[in-house]
Amino acid sequence: MNVAPNSYLRTRKRLLAAAASLAIAGAIGFGAVATGTAPVLADAVRVEAPQVPSFADVVERVSPAVVSVRVKAKIQSTADDGSGQMDDEDGLGNLPDNPQLRRFFREFRGFGDQGGDQGPNGMRRFGHRDRNNDQPRPVAQGSGFFISDDGYLVTNNHVVEEGTAFTVVTNDGKELDAKLIGTDPRTDLAVLKVDDGNKFTYVDFADDSKVRVGDWVVAVGNPFGLGGTVTAGIVSARGRDIGAGPYDDFIQIDASVNRGNSGGPTFNLNGQVVGINTAIFSPSGGSVGIAFDIPASTAKQVVQDLMKNGTVQRGWLGVEIQPVTPEIAESLGLGSGKGALVASAQDSGPGKKAGITAGDVITQVDGKDVASPKELARLIGAYPPGKSVDVTVWRNGKSEAVKVDLGKLPSSDKQASADQQPAPAPKTDTLADLGLTVTKSDNGKGLVVTDVDPDSDAADRGIQPGDVITSVNSAEVNGAGDVDKAMADAVKSGRKAVLMQITRDDSNRFVALPVAKG
């Protein structure tokens, strides 16, 4: 069969194109090309999928130790007590009168609608009415966990406070009666005990000093009364202060924690408790990934005391303290802004008896550095009453050691008393460099501020008319000349600020004012 030249050329071009296609396919890894079939990858690149950690083994081991806690409490009507005062509707009466703090805990504690149960669509059953009692008996839903095989378990104080009956629900649905052993409102911890003769699965506290930001954690609890629920996340931060109390040192996690998780444990991947769920930050009341845990180290010591004594007894120094700002540190010749500045020492307190005075900066306790007032409160609170400790203070430009026999922390914090604020005297003096107008106090001790220049550093630092200046750089002042002299001495010493002790409303504080311009 003859083939015309044009047909031959066309056929030849097709063959060359097919060969080229095969060559290219082989170069890029196609093993074969068949008409009407998809190319097959002979040596395609394959990546091994990363091993994603599973929490199933941890959850399986620890879940039997985690329980739901139900708390019943009778409500006393205003007609019963005759006081005419409204009931504490949110059940947070022991917290400070701080709206943000009360909202913080109200949204987290798991208190349900006291007007009755919500329907199945809402899936919330936080409150009910006892059919044998006309008074409502709200049920606070929380979480907890066993810490011993004989039935001791830990939860939050704000879950059980004002409760009259306590029920523990295990992960297999058993309901067990529990009794309250003790509470510690300052750290928001409580211990319950179940006595039914059985042995319980329990968990241990971890060494939270080894917990690092970024570590995986697993939270187990009873959100919204649903029962055992597991969520996972990481440690987001350490040492958080949320204004809940003097011993704030929370671990922040991003695991989903909601109302009803209060008192539940947060585990590391070894199944040890690194923290206890206590609060969340949320504009809506639901989880936004910001939850706060009581560290295991704090909980362990408090729980031991509650199991032994039913209460926690803490050491007491008897001083009012404030932070050391960079300006205050510079005015005192202190190298850093760490420590706790003593604003006043209570007359009956062990600190004053040992020689600690206003203006001292406490930098160490028994050789442990004091980074802040919160740190000092935690260090002193960890000692038992009667313990003798060595307190290092910065005073008059050098460190001094003071031995203090700690007292017992009063049930309610007492404020040191100071002289009442005197009424301004007619004659005034002007401290132009500081922007202050002052007059001598009626008792001759200190200077009363009668006017403050709104554009001055004193105004920026919060000094107000009526404040009493009692000392400057630890030297008592009884007239404007004493202030001028203290400022001149500071300039000669090369300091850029002076430290004023201010009394207002029977409380003392220190304010650093620059003198470089004076």
Name the token pair of 26. Answer: 């082989």
Alpha-carbon distance of 12 to 26, in angstroms, equals 21
| Cα dist from 247 to 314, 381, 388, whole Å | 12, 8, 21
What letters, b where the CB count within 10 A reaches 16 and e where it falls short, cover 356-379? Answer: bebbbbbbbbeeeebbbbbbbbbb
User: Can you tell me whether residue 160 is helix, strand or coil?
Assistant: helix
Name the token pair of 131. Answer: 């059919």
| 429 CB neighbour count, 10 Å cutoff | 17
At residue 30, what are phi and psi to the nearest 5 degrees? -80, 125
Instruction: List all residues 6 or more positions away from 273 whose beta carbon is below 8 Å from its beta carbon.
Output: 145, 203, 204, 205, 206, 265, 266, 267, 296, 299
Alpha-carbon distance of 415 to 109, in angstroms, equals 30
Name the token pair of 169. Answer: 């629900």
Q: Residues in the chain, how many?
A: 518
Alpha-carbon distance of 482 to 486, in angstroms, equals 6
In one-letter notation, the amino acid at residue 387 is: K
What letters, b where the CB count within 10 A reaches 16 and e where it falls short, cover 468-497? Answer: bbbbbbbeebeebebbbebbeebeeeebeb
Task: Give alpha helix (H) positions in 204-361.
Answer: 296-309, 326-332, 350-354
Name the token pair of 264. Answer: 């539940």
Alpha-carbon distance of 31 to 125, in angstroms, equals 64
Alpha-carbon distance of 110 to 89, in angstroms, equals 14
Name the token pair of 45. Answer: 């690149």
At residue 255, what are phi and psi to the nearest 5 degrees? -65, 145
Alpha-carbon distance of 71 to 429, in angstroms, equals 63
> What are the E-state strand segments in 88-243?
127-128, 137-146, 152-155, 165-169, 175-184, 189-193, 216-221, 229-240
Alpha-carbon distance of 484 to 265, in angstroms, equals 58
Alpha-carbon distance of 265 to 248, in angstroms, equals 18
| 255 CB neighbour count, 10 Å cutoff | 24
Matching residue, tokens 């300091």:
495
Exposed/middle/buried for 308, CB within 10 Å: 0-12, 13-18, 19+?
A: exposed
Active site residues: 158, 188, 262
Alpha-carbon distance of 447 to 218, in angstroms, equals 58
